[in-house]
Structure 1
Amino acid sequence: MTTLPTALVGDAYTSTHSWDLLSDLVDIDNRMAGQEGEAEGAKLVKAAFEGHGLRDATITEFGIPGWWRGDCSLTVESDRTHVFDERYQLVELPGTPSGEVTAEIVDVGYGLPEDFEEADLEGKIAMASSLTPDGYGRWIHRAEKYYAAANAGADAFLFYNHIEGCLPPTGSIGEEDGPGPIPAVGVSKEVGDRLVRYCEGGAVEADLSVECRNEPTQSRNVEAVVGPDTDQEVLLTAHVDAHDVGEGANDNGVGTVLVSEVGRLLAEIEDDLETRVRLLVFGAEEVGLFGAYHWVETHDRDRVKSIVNVDGAGYSRNLDIYTHGFDPIGEAFREVADELAVPIEVSDDIRPHSDHWPFVQEGIAGAQARSKSGESGRGWGHTHGDTLDKLDLRDLRELAVGLAAGVVKLAERDREVQHKPVSEIRDATVEEGFEEGMRNTGSWPFDDE
């Protein structure tokens, strides 16, 4: 089977299943990893899998370092006293410890490695933009800026959004077994610009207060299968957890419902599938890819023919596939683009920051499926503004067709998708400039040989 039946495509383009499930997910309000809303979201997904007729729907729990948000505030002494304590102004970064810090704010600009080398941060509050300038050569992750500040002796960290009107950004900076070393908050571009202006006028003293709770908890993965009982299987994955400051509509409600919708479509053509397909929705992606790592550690990785992970797919209806150098995955989606006469951009770039990575770092053939936005950064993602009203059912329909068609091709019995030696993945990761940042955050997964 090489193309989707016309009737199935027509079904996808008139279906509301994905939108209905997405509406239910966002109405949970809080799907933070390890909290009750994430568990409720997993149950919704399992029920959807069962309703679509998928087999062996299960939920599997595993332990993670949990984090619960409290109150935070920033009081700044400039020409007068300014207090920032509203959620549209600042929010704690998940994984931050609680703390009270009184110190001078030091603006380190973009937060590039050289910016930290040039700054005196001992006992200070370091402040960095979420932007990495065009042409720098590699993207600097939030966590790298945070740990660079901590390693330089800073007592706290402010991470300000570079996109106007998109509210304060969140995102995990915790460690594998608990909170990070110093308190950290995200602030909006508007507050960040004001703080930069104050710093340009001279030394600025500030009081940062962060309250939160860090303790062990349980997250969960939910999965089901469709197709023949083969030795190998193709995985289509996403993550159900979301940051608690918004609805998690785009990140990653869209990915979750696309996995469910593709499963529904494949169930209609189950007898034509040539390899089993596993629909797999992870927990605890946003706080360290815990669900994906747990799955890889507890399953036979040799049975995975390939994985396509859907994360960051709500920006438009145009698929964007990052193959990590696994050319057969790219070839499959290029064929889909030709057959459906739709644009699908394929890149062999490395992207080590979502649930495909625990597979790819082991040499397992894996890709990330996103959609093209034409904008810098994640926009409303990781903010209060990640809400259902910014999404379009028509985008979900077209993305579901493209993903289903790509998965069907990857499931072809005669389509070989070879895994790679770990050394080859390591070399590609080094070549694309990720080594320094991953070492700085303690997430470098390869031996030093």
Structure 2
Amino acid sequence: MKKTFLRNCAFFLLGTLSVISQEKNTVIENIQKEAYENSQLENLAHELLDNIGPRLVGTPQMKQANDWAVAKYRSWGIDAENQKWGEWRGWQRGITHIDMVYPRIQTLDGTQLAWNPGTSSKGITAEVMILPEIKDSISFKNWLPNVKGKFVMVAMKQPTGRPDDNWEEFATPESFEKMKKEREAQIKAWDENIKRSGYDRRSIIPALENAGAAGIVDSYWSRGFGVNKIFGARTKKIPSVDIELEDYTMLYRMVEHGEKPKIHIVAESKDLGRVPTFNTIAEIIGTEKPEEYVILSAHFDSWDGGTGATDNGTGTLVMMEAMRILKKVYPNPKRTILVGHWGSEEQGLNGSSAFVADHPEIVSNIQAVFNQDNGTGRVEKINGAGFLQSYDYMSRWLSAVPDTIRKNIETTFPGWPARGGSDNASFVAAGAPAFSLSSLSWAYWNYTWHTNRDTYDKIVFDDVKSNVILTAILAYMASEDESKTLREQVILPIDDKTGEPQKWPTPRIPERNGGM
């Protein structure tokens, strides 16, 4: 009788496990089916990147994107809202037009830098000049009055507009090495020349403005064909523009040869005063453990040289599409699945840091955070973020991911805690298990990271779709896991500089009153 009872219990247990396993297999299969057969990625990308465009913090486009995401989630039956976390200097980009008007006419490729005061619609016309060879700070101070009424070029004249991989492919080894040595020497000489002025690359710009310069002309080449990095201006009253290498070096050579080129700049931006800033939050409430959270994470803001396609449009698309699919095939999760689209990551992880500070009740009950940021490529690396038991649970979750995706991922456990770089670091600093889904490069750093070429056409949708499936399955597995993730931290190694043990990162204090 006892043996029969035990045998029946065993059969019941095996049958129950079989049903559970079958349910998991069905959900995982349905995630893949929905991702492949009914993908919304291209339409979402068009609406966000083509129609709304870049999402610089403090701009109308950022708020438009926040509202668009809330509406999109609600159309999928997912609760969503914009949560205010601070205020920022409001700014709206207008038309930028840069033309050389002497010694000949040519429209130049360039743009105004962010948060820069605008010009009138008539613009400003002035001669272009370069920095002199500087003997010391006194001679530089004596030279400064020469900038009055002139556009001053503040970037080095690059010796080549070809990226290094192009040289490596076509040049002789001797020619390639010669170019690199000459460039290194030129960079060193340029830096030392500025240093002798008593300023650095940043502080010299307000000094030029205060001396009466008509404007600042920069060129932050990103070592790719036609690619420049576009950041913020450092002037308060005069225009600051970035001109692409090809046109910038042409102007520079003209100045060197005494041709005294003149350019005309129209930059019709608007200062909008103080504006609120938001994180967009959406969630699917858990049915068994609603007070525990699986968080999908991607920053929503971008710089605005391009349209923010791979930094971080693609991460945004991954999280939105994963949430859409989960709502459809897994509408009643065990734990709450929350997605955070963070504001002002680019200025120091401000949106996610504010969320961590404002919601300790969520942070203390996080099962896992999955963050994706660095480009359009398929995920190739995941590390345990410094949590000792991360191997146990991450390995379980990854085992459910199809081998076609999993085989491309290198894992490292227990890994190390993120100290910056992207929003997972905000959660790690608070002791929550947060993992970066690190992507294959696709020339990200040179060609799309913060550049004028970070646009829709650079998206590799096959890779993004792979990341959607990975993220959705990880979220599902983390939600269903019987165990709560453990938070025991790895003992960090000795710091070579101090001789003391390294410490776990501490939470950042978010900038809630930015750009004022």
One-letter code aligned to 1:127: A
Deviation (angstroms), 1:59: 1.6
CA distance in 2, matches of 1:243, 1:32: 5
Counterpart residue number, 2:201: 149
Which residue pairs with 1:414 in the alignment? 483
Identify the residue that residue 52 of structure 2 maps to in structure 1: 28
Determine which of 434, 456, 465 is the counterpart of 1:397: 465
Q: Matched residues in 2 for 1:192 and 1:426: separation?
A: 46
State the distance in 2 between where 1:426 and 1:362 align. 22
Q: Who is 2:13 aligned against? A: none
Change (3 A) 1:430 1:33: farther
- Tell me which residue corresponds to 2:131: 105
The answer as to 2:412 corresponding to 1:354 is: no
Distance verdict in 2 for CA 1:304–1:416, change over 3 Å: closer
On the 8 A contact 1:91/1:169 being kept in 2, the answer is no
SS in 2 for 1:232: strand
CA gap 1:96/1:308 in 2 versus in 1, 3 angstroms: farther
Gaps of 5+ in 1: 108-116, 137-144, 432-441, 445-449
Label 1:157 to 1:245 Cα distance change in 2 as closer, same or farther (>3 A): closer
Structure 2 counterpart of 1:15, one-letter code: N
- The reply on whether 1:223 has 2:243 as its aligned counterpart is no
Give yes or no for the alignment of 1:298 onto 2:354.
Answer: no
Superposed displacement of residue 255, structure 1 = 1.6
Shift in Å, 1:290: 3.4
Structure 1 position 324, deviation (Å)? 4.2
Distance 2:420 2:391 in 1: 18
1:250·1:312 contact (CA, 8 Å) conserved in 2?
yes
Q: Answer yes or no: is the 8 Å Cα contact 2:255–2:261 preserved in 1.
A: no
TM alignment of 1:13-412, pairs within 5 A: 13-26=36-49, 27-54=51-78, 56-61=79-84, 62-70=86-94, 86=108, 88=109, 90-96=110-116, 104-105=130-131, 126-127=154-155, 148-151=200-203, 155=208, 158-172=218-232, 185-191=241-247, 194=250, 212-214=269-271, 215-226=273-284, 227-228=286-287, 229-270=289-330, 273-300=333-360, 301-314=363-376, 316-321=377-382, 324-326=385-387, 339-341=401-403, 342=405, 343-346=408-411, 348=415, 350=418, 352-375=420-443, 377-411=445-479, 412=481
Greater Cα offset, 65-74 or 123-132: 123-132
How far 1:278 moved relative to its partner? 0.7
Deviation string 1:158-208 (CA, Å, 9 cap, x unpaired) is 34223333443213467xxxx889975433243455577679989x99989
Q: Aligned partners of 1:305, 1:429: CA distance in 2, in Å? A: 35
Q: SS of 1:403's equivalent?
A: helix
CA RMSD of aligned residues (A): 4.9
Amino acid at match of 2:337: V
Q: Residue 401 of structure 1: CA displacement?
A: 0.7
8 Å contact from structure 1 (residues 91, 168) kept in 2: no
Q: State how far apart, in whole Å, the 2-side matches of 1:428 and 1:323 are.
A: 23
Write the deviation string for residues 262-285 of structure 1: whole angstroms up to 9, x where unpaired.
112222454774432211112333
> In 2, Cα distance between the equivalents of 1:407 and 1:369?
12
Q: 1:12 to 1:277 in 2, by over 3 A?
A: same
Q: Match for residue 447 of structure 1?
A: none
Read off the aligned partner of 1:317 and give its amino acid letter. Answer: R
- Name the TM-score, length of structure 1 as normaliser: 0.70
CA shift at 1:105, angstroms? 3.4
Q: Max radius of gyration: which structure?
A: 2
**CA-to-aligned-CA distance 1:86-111 (integer Å, 9 cap, x gap):** 4x3x223324567999763379xxxx
Paired letter, 1:105? L
Note if contact 1:121-1:152 (Cα within 8 Å) is conserved in structure 2. Answer: no
Say whether the 8 Å CA contact 1:309–1:368 is kept in structure 2: yes
- How many angstroms does 1:429 deviate by? 12
SS at match of 1:377: helix
**How far 1:222 sits from its partner (Å)?**
1.5
Aligned residue for 2:320, secondary structure, equals helix
Structure 1 or 2: more helix by fraction: 2
Does the residue aligned with 2:201 lie in a helix, a strand or coil?
A: helix
Once the 2 structures are TM-superposed, how far is the Cα of residue 210 of structure 1 from its aligned partner? 8.6
Rounded Cα–Cα distance in structure 1 between residues aligned with 2:334 and 2:354: 27
Query: Quick one: which amino acid aligns to residue 130 of structure 2?
Result: E
Task: Summarize deviations over 1:115-146 as a string: whole Å, max 9, x none.
Answer: xx99x9876854268999x9x9xxxxxxxx9x
Q: What is the deviation of 1:149?
A: 1.6
Aligned counterparts of 1:279 and 1:362: Cα–Cα separation in 2: 18
What is the SS of the residue equivalent to 1:53?
coil
SS in structure 2 of the partner of residue 386 of structure 1: coil
